[in-house]
């Protein structure tokens, strides 16, 4: 299965962001991708965390969801929207929902971000729990290329979530990592999740400066089950392409059967 991790520099105009996303999904499709993942907040990177409340969508309708369904149907591919703010019914807070659509344009999975980012360091102060409700359940997506584990950004720091997926061929990590945390930890964490789960990881990132002065790290990448970065993009909008090779997965697991060596204590 050929996959694409799409890197964006989203801003405060949802329409403009969706037009850029459409071009990049089209580029991925032209390169033969059968699955494309867009970064977290692909539809809006506002100046303030509360800006997402103004563009939140009811589950099942809204411009961001319509865009994802149309892109999947038009290009006959799986399209994963890194996050869409869905109305939660709780004033002032939304679900940060990853939404996946199949080649017929039907929604095939929804995952609500479980782990909410909090970071304070000098000029930077983030606390997602102020505007987001945490999800409760891990979710996997079935595709012809194998099972896909779904996660979002800060989830990357919690290996127990990824272990709960079981046997997956691919893990997706749409993200909007800050430059500070990304420079320190991004590649290390992505490669670790690939190595310990012996699967591919596709990390689709926001990159560059955004309204309000926030700077994201970029460096979208696809990593193989041995932890090798097989494709990457440091900066700027674009598409990272690679193939999920079942023979590569099988070979790594045969030579180093770490998943088989998990003890009973590891599964509880």
Residues 6+ apart with CB under 8 A from 63: 14, 15, 18, 43, 57
Residue 267 pLDDT > 80, yes or no? no
pTM over 0.85: yes
Residues pairing with 229 in the sheet: 223
Residue 101 pLDDT > 90, yes or no? yes
Residues belonging to the active site: 40, 113, 153
What is the extent of the structural domain holding 207? 2-267
Q: What is the pLDDT of residues 32-77, one digit of tens each?
A: 999 999 999 999 999 999 999 999 999 999 999 999 999 999 999 9
The domain tally of the chain equals 1
How confident is the model at residue 121, as a pLDDT?
82
Residue 57 sits in a domain whose CATH number is: 3.60.110.10
CA distance 221 to 241: 9
CA distance 89 to 226: 43
* Alpha-carbon distance values, 195 to 162, 190, 225 (Å): 11, 9, 5
Structure tokens at 55: 């563009």
Instruction: Say how many Å lie between the first and final Cα of the chain, rounded.
Output: 32
Spell out where 168-257 has E strands: 170-175, 200-205, 207-209, 215-217, 220-223, 229-233, 238-243
Residue 203 pLDDT > 60, yes or no? yes
């Amino acid at each position: 299965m050929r996959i694409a991790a799409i890197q964006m520099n989203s801003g405060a105009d949802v329409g403009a962001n969706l037009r850029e996303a459409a071009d990049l999904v089209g580029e991925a499709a032209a390169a033969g991708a059968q699955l494309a993942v867009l970064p977290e907040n692909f539809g809006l990177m506002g100046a303030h965390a509360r800006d997402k409340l103004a563009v939140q969508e009811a589950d099942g309708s809204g411009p961001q969801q319509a865009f994802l369904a149309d892109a999947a149907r038009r290009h006959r591919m799986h399209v994963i929207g890194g996050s869409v703010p869905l109305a939660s019914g709780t004033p002032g807070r939304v679900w940060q929902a990853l939404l996946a659509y199949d080649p017929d344009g039907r929604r095939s999975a929804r995952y609500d971000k479980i782990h909410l980012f909090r970071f304070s360091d000098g000029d930077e102060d983030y606390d997602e729990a102020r505007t987001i409700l945490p999800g409760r359940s891990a979710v996997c997506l079935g595709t012809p290329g194998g099972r896909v584990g779904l996660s979002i950004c800060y989830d990357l720091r919690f290996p127990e979530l990824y272990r709960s997926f079981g046997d997956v061929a691919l893990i997706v990590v749409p993200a909007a990592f800050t430059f500070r945390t990304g420079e320190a930890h991004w590649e290390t964490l992505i490669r670790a999740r690939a190595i310990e789960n012996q699967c591919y990881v596709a990390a689709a990132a926001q990159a560059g400066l955004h309204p309000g002065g926030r700077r994201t790290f970029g460096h979208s990448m696809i990593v193989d089950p041995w932890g090798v970065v097989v494709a990457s993009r440091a900066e700027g909008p674009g598409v990272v392409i690679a193939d999920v090779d079942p023979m590569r997965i099988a070979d790594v697991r045969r030579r180093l059967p770490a998943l088989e060596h998990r003890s009973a204590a590891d599964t509880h």
